[in-house]
Amino acid sequence: MSVDKLSSTFPRITIDVRFETLQWLEKLRKAEELCCVAARTAVIEGGRHPLSLPGEGVELTVVLTDDSRIKTLNCIYRGQDKPTNVLSFPALEEPSFLGEALALGDILVALQTTLREAEQQAIPFADHFCHLVVHGALHLLGYDHQESDAAETMERLEARILAQLGIENPYADIGASTAP
């Protein structure tokens, strides 16, 4: 089933993509388009559990940033003084007004780390980018990978979503949980 067919049966999903560095467009011309498709598919598939999507729809923001910015945020919020590939900041607040969309939160993806990881793993940059957006969106929906059972659930869901996007399972050759 195509994403377009799935989308027509679900509430409105608004994705705001913000570029903190234009280097993203130099490295990946279709960054905004890929980001929207990956995030939308993740919300549709992941929104079935644990969060049921409200009829008014949902919205989220994806910030395409660099290693410097994400390192600062990673240090402040996770106590890790190093860059990471993706950070998610769930909002999960009730809408203020009747008919207002539910704000899921923000996802930040770091360009240099994402490029480096794709090269190290010998996978297309666009595929790795989509995987990180999917991963971040699932965190906004309440999924995590702290415990092994939760990690396996999240990884299976990521693999299913990525398959819908035509992207190979990043966990196929890995025995243990290695979620980003």
Do the Cβ atoms of 62 and 107 come closer than 8 Å? yes
Q: What is the pLDDT of residue 71?
A: 98
Q: Which residue has the tokens 């991963």?
A: 135
Contacts of 34 (CB under 8 A, 6+ apart): 28, 126, 129, 130, 133
**Tokens 């996770």 identify what position?**
78
Report the distance separating Cα 54 and Cα 31, nearest Å.
28
Q: What pLDDT score was predicted for residue 171?
A: 86
- pLDDT: is 145 or 24 the higher one? 24
What domains are defined for the chain?
3-164 (3.40.390.30)
pLDDT of residue 80: 96
| pLDDT score of 137 more than 90 | yes
Average confidence score pLDDT of the chain: 85
- Residue pLDDT, tens place only, 52-108: 555 677 889 999 999 999 999 999 999 999 999 999 999 866 555 555 677 899 999
Q: What is the mean pLDDT of residues 7-27?
A: 84
Q: Tell me what the mean pLDDT of segment 166-170 comes to.
A: 93
Give 21-37 pLDDT, tens digit per residue.
999 999 999 999 999 99
Rounded CA gap, 19 and 27, in Å?
13
Neighbours of 3 (CB within 10 A): 16
- pLDDT at position 60 is 93
Residue 96's pLDDT is what?
55
